[in-house]
DNA sequence: TTATTTGTAACTTAATAAATTACAATAAAG
DNA sequence: CTTTATTGTAATTTATTAAGTTACAAATAA
């Protein structure tokens, strides 16, 4: 399938809101222009972030605010909101149950895939939105210094 | 996108060959019937496994053999062969370089995503094809005992 | 020879991420 | 109040790509 950028775009939205708060109208249009996507996609993602308790929005007004401090939002929180916790590896569900391999491999792979996913998720949990914002600002400062 | 099952199907192929060697003709047709896919897809995946040095095949003869001992083939080896090392997380490449966020977030996310991927890959590296085969056999034995 | 199978290319189908269009609901400015 | 801007969401279209299908040359083996 076409690979989803919902996770990356959702982090982008949250970082944008934090960085440009008070300096720019935080409309879905302005945010979309920074991401390079459509305002509708931005509003859809913001809707999911709001439902996940990461963002506050006001219907009709361009005043989104983070629902938590950036240090208290992990990338895993954002992943859960944006991709609905989609698994990183895909089990083939069409295997033949009459066959020793086909009849057991789904459960076997499910166990291993889960452990690999937990390892990745643990790493995402250790990085906060604040870390991302800091990294963006440092990279920008280096550009400005040149 | 439609999620790829190439990784799972490739593990299936290798386990099938090891388990049914000598008991069943190892044709792409028989393997495909166990996976629930087409013989062409099986041959395509076997071709990639051969190029990765995991499998030996004979043009015209249904005699594939593992190129290494199952204990010496890790799931990460198979992942590299099957998915060509595709990243687990997707960076949005269309972000606006004029914006502080859009101009720096790709590099920032690239660093974090890479670390999360390394964590998952490390876990896959710790599981061998032999572990998968053992797990399948144990699950089957439990079914037979009922 | 003849039948079987692999290996691969070309094309089609199906699934789905994102874009687009449309519009009701809300907010805010004058 | 009325007008304008905006959010929130549904419905539809477009684009991408994984998998399926068809076709056939090349190799094997009976």
pLDDT score of B16 more than 70: yes
- The residue whose CA lies nearest the C1' of nucleotide D9 is A44
A15: which chain B residues are within 8 Å (Cβ-Cβ)?
101, 105
Q: Cβ(B102)–Cβ(A143) under 8 Å?
A: no
CA–CA distances in Å: residue A56 to residues A29, A49, A70, A123, B135: 17, 8, 13, 26, 47
| Nearest Cα to Cα of residue B47 among B64, B34, B24 | B64
C strand bases under 7 Å from protein CB: 4-10, 14-22, 25-28
pLDDT in tens, B82-127: 999 999 999 999 999 999 999 999 999 999 999 999 999 999 999 9
Q: Are strands A61-66 and B55-58 parallel, antiparallel or unpaired?
A: unpaired
DSSP string covering B67-120, please?
SS-GGG-BHHHHHHHHHTT--SS---TT--TTSHHHHHHHHHHHHHHHHHHHHH
A6-86+128-145: CATH architecture: Orthogonal Bundle (1.10)
What is the pLDDT, as a whole number, of residue B1?
61
Q: Is B116 on the interface with A (CB under 8 A)?
A: yes
Q: Is B38 on the interface with A (CB under 8 A)?
A: no
Sign (positive or negative) of CA dihedral B83, B87, B88, B92: negative
What is the pLDDT, as a whole number, of residue A140?
98
Average pLDDT over all residues of chain B? 97
Q: Is B15 on the interface with A (CB under 8 A)?
A: yes
pLDDT in tens, A53-66: 999 999 999 999 99
Q: Find out if CATH 1.10.645.10 is the number for domain B6-139.
A: no
Query: How many angstroms separate the CA of B40 from the C1' of C8?
Result: 9
**A138 φψ region: left (φ > 0), alpha (ψ -120 to 50), beta (else):** alpha
pLDDT score of A39 more than 80: yes
What is the pLDDT, as a whole number, of residue A1?
63
Helix residue ranges per DSSP H, A21-99: 28-35, 39-51, 75-83
B2·A4 Cβ contact <8 A: no
Q: What is the ipTM of this complex?
A: 0.95
Q: State which H helix or E strand residue B61 sits in.
A: strand B61-66
A103·B5 Cβ contact <8 A: no
Task: Average the pLDDT over A131-142 and give the result.
Answer: 98
Q: Give the Cα separation of A25 and A65 in Å (integer).
A: 12
Mutation site for A-interface testing, chosen from B2, B100, B126 by largest number of A Cβ within 10 Å: B100
> Is the shortest CB-to-strand distance from B59 to strand C under 7 Å?
yes
Q: Is A101 on the interface with B (CB under 8 A)?
A: yes
pLDDT score of A146 more than 80: no
Q: Which nucleotide is nearest to B62 (CA to C1')?
A: C5
A102·B11 Cβ contact <8 A: no
Could you say which residues 18-37 of protein chain B have a Cβ atom less than 7 A away from any atom in strand C?
25-29
pLDDT in tens, A73-101: 999 999 999 999 999 999 999 999 999 99
B33·A109 Cβ contact <8 A: no
């Amino acid at each position: 399938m076409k690979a989803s950028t919902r996770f990356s775009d959702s982090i982008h939205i949250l970082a944008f809101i934090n960085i440009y708060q008070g300096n720019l109208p935080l409309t879905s249009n302005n945010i979309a222009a920074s991401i390079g996507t459509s305002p509708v996609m931005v509003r859809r993602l913001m809707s999911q972030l709001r439902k996940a308790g990461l963002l506050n929005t006001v219907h009709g007004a361009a005043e989104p605010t983070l629902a938590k401090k950036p240090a208290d939002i992990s990338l895993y929180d954002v992943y859960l909101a944006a991709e609905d916790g989609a698994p990183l590896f895909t089990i083939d569900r069409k295997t033949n149950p009459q066959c020793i391999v086909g009849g057991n491999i789904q459960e076997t792979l499910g166990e291993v895939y889960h452990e690999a996913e937990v390892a990745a998720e643990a790493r995402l949990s250790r990085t906060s939105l604040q870390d991302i914002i800091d990294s963006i600002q440092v990279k920008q400062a280096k550009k400005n210094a040149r």
